[in-house]
Amino acid sequence: MASLALLVVAVTLSGCGSRDASSQTLALVNGQPITETMWRTALMATKVVTGTTLSAQTSAQRSEVQSLVQQQVVVDYALDHRLLTRQQGTRQASAYIERTLRPRYHGHLSLVLKNANLSATAFREYVANQMILKDVFLWVTKSVPKVSQRAIAQYYGDHPGQFTTPTTVEVRHILVKTRRQAVALLDQIHRGASFSALAARYSLDASSAQAGGSLGFIERGQASGLLPNFYRTMDTLKRGQYGIAHTRLGYHIIEVQAVKPGSEAVLSQVQPIIAVELTTSEKASRFDAWAKKIQRAAKVKILKP
């Protein structure tokens, strides 16, 4: 089930989309139906707001419906206990749509909604429910204490590999069409010719040629973002060594100019990051436990799938 704490990927609640009598009922929450139409509306609205594409496959439907159910219970509780009103959620939704979503889509939000088969009313209700969820989350987790220095240090010690920077290498290359040309240029380099001058004159990679063929400091392996044959050859080279690699672009003369070993960040550097991570995790756990508790007290029935 999607975590309610991760509101940026939350799906909609009741009231999102019309209650189409012909739409199959997937669940009942306190006597109110969650229909297939509402579920599909939730999928599309989530994509518009967060960019997250939720699966429309039957295999994924059950967990998504369970998330809808839990969120419906949360909203019902919030409104019944007057934590906030529907009108407050709607006002927050209108502000969010105008200040965040409409600029994001460069004024074309209406067209985006039309292409997603969403009415403006249904979409506004969706966003209003997200605002209610956000406020309830803040209310439930407001008493989560500040993370202690001891907890931060413990986490740092337990996750040594999480706070290291990888080894990087400074690389430059010359790209040519044929191996024969690559071998000839490499021979010139070995005899003292300027790599930078040859790159500027012969390299087919215009983006690096004027910089003497430099690609700067990059990670080794796939993390380099380079073509496989390029980084495989590069990974075999030590500082000051050359190699030739064949890729779909042609033949590359590669030089590793320098190697910068990876390093481990000291605790003081990553302390704020760890504090945020631990606080976020604790809030998520606190909210999830609370939501499950109130769901047990609600009248819930999952019908489909």
pLDDT at 7 over 50: no
Percent of all residues in the chain with a pLDDT value above 90, rounded to a whole number: 76
Give residue 160's pLDDT: 82
pLDDT band (50, 70, 90) for residue 17: very low
Tokens of 157: 């010690």
Give residue 13's pLDDT: 38
Give residue 253's pLDDT: 98
Give residue 55's pLDDT: 83
pTM for the whole thing? Answer: 0.66
pLDDT at 6 over 60: no
pLDDT tens column, 135-187: 999 999 999 999 999 999 999 999 988 888 889 999 999 999 999 999 999 99
pLDDT band (50, 70, 90) for residue 305: low
Give residue 93's pLDDT: 97
Give residue 2's pLDDT: 38
pLDDT at 263 over 70: yes
The pair phi, psi for residue 258, each rounded to 5°, is -160, 155
Contacts (Cβ under 8 Å, ≥6 apart) of 7: 130, 133, 134, 137
For the residues 283-300, what does the mean pLDDT come to? 94
pLDDT at 46 over 60: yes
Least Cα distance to 37 among 215, 304, 284 occurs for: 304
Give residue 62's pLDDT: 84
| Domain 7-146+273-302 -> CATH class | mainly alpha
Question: Any idea where the domains of the chain sit in the sequence?
Answer: 7-146+273-302, 167-261
Give residue 9's pLDDT: 36
- Asked if 186 and 233 count as a contact pair (C-beta separation under 8 A), the reply is no
> Cα(154)–Cα(69) distance, rounded to whole angstroms?
37
Provide the terminal-to-terminal Cα distance of the chain, rounded to the nearest Å: 15
Which position has the higher pLDDT, 52 or 93? 93
pLDDT at 222 over 50: yes
For the residues 195-224, what does the mean pLDDT come to? 96
Give residue 19's pLDDT: 45
Contacts (Cβ under 8 Å, ≥6 apart) of 251: 175, 176, 177, 178, 179, 181, 182, 244, 245
Q: What is the mean pLDDT of the chain?
A: 90
**Cα–Cα distances in angstroms (integers) from residue 243 to residues 175, 230, 258, in the given order:** 12, 9, 15
Note the CATH number of domain 167-261.
3.10.50.40
- Asked if 39 and 65 count as a contact pair (C-beta separation under 8 A), the reply is yes
pLDDT at 264 over 90: no
The string of DSSP letters for 64-77 reads: HHHHHHHHHHHHHH
> Cα(270)–Cα(241) distance, rounded to whole angstroms?
35
pLDDT band (50, 70, 90) for residue 303: confident
For the residues 289-294, what does the mean pLDDT come to? 95
